[in-house]
Amino acid sequence: MPAVTAPEKAPRGASVMPDTPGWARWANDHRKWLFAAPAMVFVAALIIFPLAWTAYLSLTDSAGSVRADSEFIGFRNYVEVLTDTDRFWPAVGRTAAFTGAALFFEVVLGMAIALLLWRPFRGEKWVRVAILLPLVATPVAVGMMWRLIFDPNIGLANQALSWVGIGPQPWLAGQHTALPTTIFIDIWQWTPMVVLILLAGLTSLSDEPQEAAMIDGASAWQRFRHVTLPLLMPTVIVAVLLRGIDALKTFDILYATKGRGGGSFHEVETLNVYAYGLSFDYNEYGLSSTVLILFFLIIIGSMWALTARRKGAGR
């Protein structure tokens, strides 16, 4: 078919024979839209529509049932949420703490493990498989498993501590230990993903700068600090970006371990858990949408900041 193979730059309709029907000519003229249409419809239906609907709901007092009458109340929900120092701001703090701490340890540990796995060694394959195992487990199952391990009375964790003479810890049950414990679970599950990304980055580095540094007499630490790390920086930022967005949005582990509201004192209530509670426990759809829109803006903001860094590092 000459129409399809026609060169991209050909003037409109020039390659189509004069006797082709009108629709074929139209289709040919607009083929870049035509081919992209299914994907665009998909995005519109599944991303743009829900987002726009949530944004609309956030400006109403919708509660009880989304089909019930609701009033347009402008930005009153935003004022209410942004001045809420009881639930909203602590949730923002917990989201930041959870993401920051999890991300920090995941990247540091991930880097260390990736460096260990970088050079070939015996049994390498098995070690790699073992390290990747947590990654393939379902988060809810992971949550349930750790919940059993961390049970203050019958859990394995306290059992193990008692062997070395340390008294039982409350873990997930404690008001101040719950959040660190969930951070630990997140690190356990997601460090392998960071390892995977960093390892891919390491493998693609060429050996020459390393050899040059070695000849210049650089120590292992110096080679890592001044050669490997700068070269690997773009990959590190990709890992931080991917993992960071995911960590911000964590829900499954928190819900599986502490349930609704993130525990009786909202110990692990992040923005996601809070928004879920607002809509599923309280049926406050307007407020819940407001929290979700604000959360969305936070994610977009942090993503933008990181991408800007990445461009800076790539230069």
Partner 1 sequence: MVAAVTLSACGGGGDSGASDTVRVTLVNHVWTENIRQALPEFEKATGLKVEVTQLGEDQLSDQYNVKLNAGSRDIDVMMYRPLQEGQLFAKNKYLADLTDRAKESADFGLDDFQASPLGATTYEDKVVGIPIITEQQVLYYRKDLLEKSGFSAPPQTLDELKTQAAKIKADNPGVAGFVSRTGKAAAVTQFSSFLFSFGGDFVDDSGKAAVNTDAAKQAYAYYGELLREHGPANISTDMSWSEAMAIFTQGQAAFYTEANSLYKNATDPAKSKVSESVGFAPFPAGPAGSKPYNIPSWALAVNEASENQSNAWKFIEWAAGKEQTLEQQKAGVPGARASVWENPEGIATYPQDMADAITVSLANGVGHDRPVVERVAQAREIVGQPIVDAITGKDAAASADAANEGFQKFLDDEAR
Residue 53 touches partner 1, criterion: CB under 8 A = no
Residue 66 touches partner 1, criterion: CB under 8 A = yes
Closest contact distance (angstroms) between CB of 134 and partner 1 is 24
CB atoms within 10 A of CB 306: 17
Residue 68 touches partner 1, criterion: CB under 8 A = yes
Residue 31 touches partner 1, criterion: CB under 8 A = no
Q: Which of 175, 203, 204, 307 binds partner 1 (CB under 8 A)?
A: 175
H helices of 119-177, in order, are: 124-136, 139-149, 156-163
Cβ distance 198 to 110 under 8 Å?
Answer: yes
Residue 203 touches partner 1, criterion: CB under 8 A = no
The count of chain residues that interact with partner 1, using the rule CB under 8 A, is 27
Cβ distance 290 to 76 under 8 Å?
Answer: no
Residue 172 touches partner 1, criterion: CB under 8 A = yes
d(CA 182, CA 128): 25
Residue 265 touches partner 1, criterion: CB under 8 A = yes
Q: Which of 41, 42, 281, 301 binds partner 1 (CB under 8 A)?
A: 281
Residue 65 touches partner 1, criterion: CB under 8 A = yes
Residue 259 touches partner 1, criterion: CB under 8 A = yes
Q: Which is nearer to partner 1, 252 or 302 (CB)?
A: 252
Residue 260 touches partner 1, criterion: CB under 8 A = yes
Which part of the chain contacts partner 1 (CB under 8 A), choosing from 72-80, 111-119, 165-173, 230-238? 165-173
d(CA 63, CA 37): 36
Closest contact distance (angstroms) between CB of 282 and partner 1 is 5
For residue 276, give every residue at least 6 positions away whose Cβ sits within 8 Å of its Cβ, in sequence order, or none. 251, 255, 260, 288
Residue 180 touches partner 1, criterion: CB under 8 A = no
Q: What is the dihedral of CA 163, 169, 171, 176, to 10 degrees?
A: -150
Nearest to 105 by CA among 219, 185, 223: 185
C-alpha 60: how far from chain center = 29
Residue 124 touches partner 1, criterion: CB under 8 A = no
d(CA 192, CA 113): 9
Sign (positive or negative) of CA dihedral 191, 193, 194, 196? positive
Show the site string, 129-158: x = touches partner 1 by CB under 8 A, - = not: -----------------------xxx----
Q: Which is nearer to partner 1, 124 or 281 (CB)?
A: 281
Residue 35 touches partner 1, criterion: CB under 8 A = no
Closest contact distance (angstroms) between CB of 37 and partner 1 is 19
Residue 90 touches partner 1, criterion: CB under 8 A = no
Q: Which is nearer to partner 1, 49 or 282 (CB)?
A: 282
Phi, psi (degrees; rounded to nearest 5) at 60: -120, 175
What would the two tokens of residue 93 be?
A: 């703090």
Q: Which is nearer to partner 1, 206 or 264 (CB)?
A: 264
Q: What is the dihedral of CA 116, 137, 194, 105, to 10 degrees?
A: -90
d(CA 167, CA 161): 7
Residue 49 touches partner 1, criterion: CB under 8 A = no
Question: Residue numbers of the site for partner 1 (CB under 8 A)?
Answer: 64-68, 152-154, 168-170, 172-175, 258-261, 263-265, 279-283
